[in-house]
Structure 1
Amino acid sequence: MSRRSPSNDPVLAVRALRTQQAGGIDIYAFFVPGADLLRIAEISRVHRDSDGALHGFQRKEIRNHVQAIVEFLDQGSVLFPNAIILAISPRAMFTQSRGSKPDGDVKASDAGTLRIPIPKDGTKAAWIVDGQQRSIALAQVKDKGFPVPVVAFVSEDLSTHREQFILVNKARPLPPRLINELLPEVEADLPRDLAPRRIPSEIVNLLNTASDSPFRNLIRRLSDENPEAVIIDTALIKVVRNSINSPLGALAPYKASSSREADCLSMYRVLTAFWGAAREVFPDAWGRSPMESRLMHSAGIEAMGYLMDRIMSRALGANDLRRHAMDALLRIAPYCCWTKGRWPDIDRDWNDIQNLGRDIRLLSEQLARLDHVHSFARVA
């Protein structure tokens, strides 16, 4: 709630806990309605003045990120305990609560009321150190009273603000592979940037565990130390995601639309048909280390994913998807160099192919040419 200070400037009064670090710097922990954050705190954008001097430290607003947070929070009842970190002016006043402390108190903090001034001249008594995108989003959500945790340290020194900004943001983010593996286990609605990653991760989980999957126990996941696993999960996840998102992808007809949910079982059926055929057509290259077989290499998996889209998109009406895939793969098998030899048109040894965009493109184009030449009659 806000109230007037003796200087006639309004204040935001919150219940808070106070502790100290770094030889006496006060730190406060409290909750405020999300919409009040930008009333009390400034976003110090990084910029240079006409003399070239550096000011501020915050990056520019990322609109897509902000919009994704707004959409997530506007879903209704959501859990969002991510704390905003502020630097706060000594003008903020803390009044310790009176009364005895509970038995067993660890004496790490004092409870009281923190009053943060909101000057009428538009200046701010706090600066956002971490959480600017969240703060902008919280000012736009429907529920203006959504409570947000805040941790604030007392400092008006810009160099200290920058130091804490760097320390907070230099922490290594969660590895994408860990996020991909965790996503299928999360039942709640996800932010817009994470939701599309859930289905590919779920399908790759199924490919690694289902008894009828050609990939059973061959996919390397962070949680699994299976020595027989040779295919990195991100390669297959990318194949599934690309096929779903491409208008010509073999899995695209089964993605979610405004009138229906995604048909993951049909996606799985197409994948197991094609890759099951690949296992039968290339038995000497299947299940081996990527160092011994480029079919199991991330570059080979991704390139074969593009070939899958070509071949399986022609299977409309086929009663036996696996037979359809086998017929197409058998026609090009004599010209494929997964474990030895040299690819004919790109003039590359089999083990020269690396997990690089250029190499994946070259190999994808080679497979597409082979499929075109050997699957269609030559034009007279």
Structure 2
Amino acid sequence: MYLSSVKSGSFQNTFSWTNLINNKHLTIPVLKFSQKGLPLFIGKIRPAELLVMSSVDQWNEDRLEGYQRERIKEKNREIKDFLKNCDIPIVPPIIASVKLSSFIPTSDDYGQMEIPIIPGNISLIDGQQRTGGFYELFYEIRSEGKKNKDHGDMILDRYAEFLKFEIPILLIDPQLIIKKLQEKNSLSDIKPIDVERAFFFVINKTQKSVSSSLKDELAYLTISAGITGIPAIEKDRWRVDLVPIVNELNKEGSPLYGLINLGGSSGLQRPIPLTSFVSSLKPLYDNPTFHAYSQEEKLQFLKAYWGAVKEVFPDAFAQTKQYLLTKTIGMYPMNSLSADILNEMLKDGKNPLLQSDVYPYILLLGDLDWSVNASEFRYFIGRKGTGRGYELLKEAFQKKI
């Protein structure tokens, strides 16, 4: 009722809501703990409770108030699909501030937090996109219930499963934290939103994203283990198919041995990030012939192709710092061109899996200068630059055919 009225803009004050639910409280078993003297509580909450009671203090450009970013609909839908389809729909803890509450200890640091069921009483600090995913799931289930009344039992089962889901939540009581801060620093004007904003900043500023190469490796290992339904993996599933091939290209006996940084680790002196190499293979992956190849045949073609490249441009592999070929600006165009060379070889009746057959096609580009100081590719940067690099490479190749 509350969600529907809020969406339509008809529900104007919390007093009506308070009367409706007769001043009831949500009771959450919690563990109280302390970090540098600041009291924090960790417990669990169900989606329905979170949707009714949570609010987001979004950044306002005109008033310079708030702190949260906008909800991202696409991200919310991804989380909804994750909750529906993944075998392990693990939702990390949400961090929130509770405006009105009371902690009732039962033993030592264990106890119960009583939170009045008032809309907006829980302010989300970290977790609005996850909460948005539950919003999307709730409305989808409700919509299905209206459209498919003949499948009422099945929809009720889904709704019951939705209601049983438990979300870990770390709660801060800003008033308690303000009291502690005032004892230490004599702060008089600090407000709850100031505390929430500080937590939000610390959480988002101190988190370091996992490297893109490591994400690709982890996605591949996750799918290999048989775990599916993770939207971030499923929407770029083609990458998972290519990761094990690129892993093999980095092994001894491959022309690219030791040149690919598989996990994005720093200090390895390997010029080709796995994630960049995988991305650059998309035009080749979309080639019907290459796509129809087995994994072993895909690997053979790439070994033959890059083996021929290394044979034509040996200095670029011996002195990688002095040449652009094994850097992003060179590797992207070369991998894009591989799809064109594959088509040309098939038209000529050649075997793309043999380096000796690939070599004459790469030799047509033998007069290109890949040196850092003189190459015409040296001015290209970014995705547009790699695209222009491919155009130049293709022009040079077509002139020689």
Q: Distance in 2 between matches of 1:340 and 1:9?
A: 72
**Is the CA contact 1:16–1:112 (under 8 Å) kept in the aligned structure 2?**
yes
| Cα root mean square deviation, aligned | 3.1
Which position in structure 1 is the counterpart of 2:311? 280
Deviations 1:140-163 (A, max 9, x none): 345312211100000261121111
Which position in structure 1 is the counterpart of 2:231? 192
Indicate which of 1, 9, 16 corresponds to 2:30: 16
Q: Distance in 1 between matches of 2:256 and 2:168?
A: 44
User: Structure 2: which 5+ runs fail to align?
Assistant: 1-17, 138-157, 176-191
Task: Give 3-state SS (helix, strand or coil) of 1:194's partner.
Answer: helix
* Structure-2-length-normalised TM-score: 0.73
Instruction: Describe how 1:97-246 pairs up with structure 2 within 5 A.
Output: 97-98=106-107, 110-119=109-118, 123-141=119-137, 142=158, 143-144=161-162, 145-155=164-174, 157-171=192-206, 172-186=208-222, 187=225, 188-189=227-228, 191-195=230-234, 196=236, 197-209=239-251, 211-222=252-263, 229-244=270-285
Q: Distance in 2 between matches of 1:366 and 1:342?
A: 15
Q: Percentage identity across aligned positions?
A: 21
Which position in structure 2 is the counterpart of 1:326? 359
How many residues are treated as equivalent by the alignment? 334
Which position in structure 1 is the counterpart of 2:105? 96
Deviations 1:290-348 (A, max 9, x none): x2222122211111112112111334474511344322212221x311248956xxxx3
- The alpha-carbon deviation at position 135 of structure 1 amounts to 0.9
Q: Distance in 2 between matches of 1:26 and 1:134?
A: 25
Q: Distance in 1 between matches of 2:389 and 2:272?
A: 18
- The alpha-carbon deviation at position 367 of structure 1 amounts to 0.9
Indicate which of 53, 56, 69 corresponds to 2:63: 53
Task: Give 3-state SS (helix, strand or coil) of 1:9's partner.
Answer: coil
For the structure 1 residues 341 and 169, does the alpha-carbon distance in structure 2 shift closer, same or farther, using more than 3 Å as the test? closer
Amino acid in the other structure paired with 2:168:
P
Which position in structure 2 is the counterpart of 1:37? 50
Q: Distance in 1 between matches of 2:384 and 2:282?
A: 20
Q: Does 1:366 align with 2:392?
A: yes
- The alpha-carbon deviation at position 225 of structure 1 amounts to 8.3
For the structure 1 residues 226 and 208, does the alpha-carbon distance in structure 2 shift closer, same or farther, using more than 3 Å as the test? farther
**Is the CA contact 2:93–2:168 (under 8 Å) kept in the aligned structure 1?**
yes
* Structure-1-length-normalised TM-score: 0.77
Amino acid in the other structure paired with 1:74:
K
Deviations 1:201-238 (A, max 9, x none): 332212112x5532122223447789784433333122
Q: Distance in 1 between matches of 2:368 and 2:248?
A: 28
For the structure 1 residues 180 and 371, does the alpha-carbon distance in structure 2 shift closer, same or farther, using more than 3 Å as the test? same
Deviations 1:271-292 (A, max 9, x none): 2222122122222323432x22
Which position in structure 2 is the counterpart of 1:102? none
Task: Give 3-state SS (helix, strand or coil) of 2:369's partner.
Answer: coil
**Is the CA contact 1:71–1:192 (under 8 Å) kept in the aligned structure 2?**
yes
**Is the CA contact 2:264–2:274 (under 8 Å) kept in the aligned structure 1?**
no
Q: Distance in 2 between matches of 1:214 and 1:242?
A: 21
Amino acid in the other structure paired with 1:117:
P
Which position in structure 1 is the counterpart of 2:3? none
Task: Give 3-state SS (helix, strand or coil) of 1:137's partner.
Answer: helix
Which position in structure 2 is the counterpart of 1:300? 330
Higher helix share: 2
